[in-house]
């Protein structure tokens, strides 16, 4: 933020820790949201793995029954 190009664009108050007249756009917030959703999906997949790893469930899979995981 302290480079000459950023100071020219964002105003003289722009520095490494101050954004000056600039602001963070929607892409930044979308990236943060995507990261959070990725972690949530990882937690769901871990729960699905735990739910399907019991011996009873494995026996049903071997018998050809299909599984539906519902939280």
What is the four-CA torsion angle of 32, 34, 39, 42, rounded to 10 degrees? -170
Query: What was the pLDDT predicted at 70?
Result: 56
**Tell me: the pLDDT tens digits for 3-52?**
888 888 888 888 888 888 888 889 999 999 999 999 999 888 887 777 66
In angstroms, how far apart are the furthest CA atoms of the chain? Answer: 71
The structure tokens listed for 26 are: 């929607």
For residue 71, pLDDT over 60 is answered with no
Residue 24: half-sphere exposure toward Cβ, Cα within 13 Å: 7
Query: What was the pLDDT predicted at 67?
Result: 63
């Amino acid at each position: 933020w302290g480079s000459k190009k950023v100071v020219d664009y964002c105003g003289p108050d722009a520095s490494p820790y101050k954004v000056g007249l600039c602001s963070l756009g929607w892409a930044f917030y979308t990236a943060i949201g995507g990261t959070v959703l990725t972690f949530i999906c990882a937690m769901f997949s871990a729960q699905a793995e735990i739910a399907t790893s019991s011996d009873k469930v494995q026996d049903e899979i071997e018998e050809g029954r299909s599984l539906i995981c519902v939280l």
